[in-house]
Structure 1
């Protein structure tokens, strides 16, 4: 097969509909929009409008609360960190923080910080500098001989 022989499957592409090109074309004059009225005009945005009746999204009650100040943490399990160490992507001697995890490809981007979860086992002795960690995760890290450094306010709230 050559590059100049490449093409889509038969019927996969359609030529665009040329609107308003004479009455003989089948989509001339009103261009498939029917006759007059709001929807025949340009610039119509009536999604959710119910003809003056109270729209559904306003009839239903609001529920719950969305905290605008909520922090968005990256949850990382100990198993994923151990896998990164086994694959030689993470240096066991250096401090493990959000930046190191991004470089190792464990997380894509550091959001409001990293929170450690206790899934899996940790064999390496590591020192962590993270935004948060579950109690079980801290126990496992300390059992492996490592340490966890958390921000002051996180320690005060636990």
Structure 2
């Protein structure tokens, strides 16, 4: 992997770290170099990703539910529990998202054949059309957001982020 080691221009995080080094030389603010940038990237990405979701009258959560159903394959249906596990949110959040998507005609609920109390959430034809279009735009948007990195740099970053993720407690844990 050929990663460009040319130092980029200093940014706000460098300034913050420099100030801490001056004011508290007894502390090591170097973790801020990573965490501060990840946090700023999260905010910037969130804003940019939500623009695409908004084009389809979706929030991030609704997009996530539709995408989860779509990538599950035919018949594009899951239980609420399966959706909860895949989207890593509470059952109440899944219910709220599914309620909104059902109201807009993008999913429907039906009783599970083997459990009358259980409900299956299924993409409607309209929901499948919306998510197919939205995910295309989403992936183009993500590629645009990463265009400042070469393919090798993206691969190196993917490796490092995966490694970092594996050292943290599970999401929500």
TM-score range, shorter chain: under 0.3
What TM-score do the two structures reach when normalised by structure 1? 0.24
Structure number with higher helix proportion? 2
Structure with the greater relative contact order (CA < 8 A, sep ≥ 6): 1 or 2?
2
What TM-score do the two structures reach when normalised by structure 2? 0.23
**Which of structures 1 and 2 has the bigger CA Rg?**
1
